[in-house]
Chains A and B, each alone.
Chain A
Amino acid sequence: MLELRLVQGSLLKKVIEAIKDLVTDANFDCSATGLSLQAMDSSHVALVALLLRSEGFEHYRCDRNISMGMNLNNMSKMLKCAGNDDIITIKGDDGGDTITFMFESPNQDKISDFEMKLMDIDSEHLGIPEAEYHAIVKMPSSEFSRICKDLSSIGDTVVISVTKEGVKFTTRGDIGTANIVCRQNKTIDKPDEATIIEMNEPVSLTFALRYLNSFTKATSLSESVTISLSSDLPVVIEYKIADMGYIRFYLAPKIED
Chain B
Amino acid sequence: SFLKNHLHSSFIHRKLSGREKKEIQREILSIMGLPGRPRPHSEGKLPSSAPLFMLDLYHAMASEDEDDVSQGVSHPVPSSLSTQIPPLGTVISEADTVMSFVNMVEQDQDIFHQKPYWKEFKFDLTQLPKGETVTAAEFRIYKMKSFGRSTNKTLHISVYEINKSHHKRESNLFLLDVQNIAAKEEGWLAFDITAASNRWLLNPKYNLGLRLYIELDGGQSVDPGLAGLVGRRGPRPKQPFLVTFFRANQPPIRAPR
| A and B pair up | no
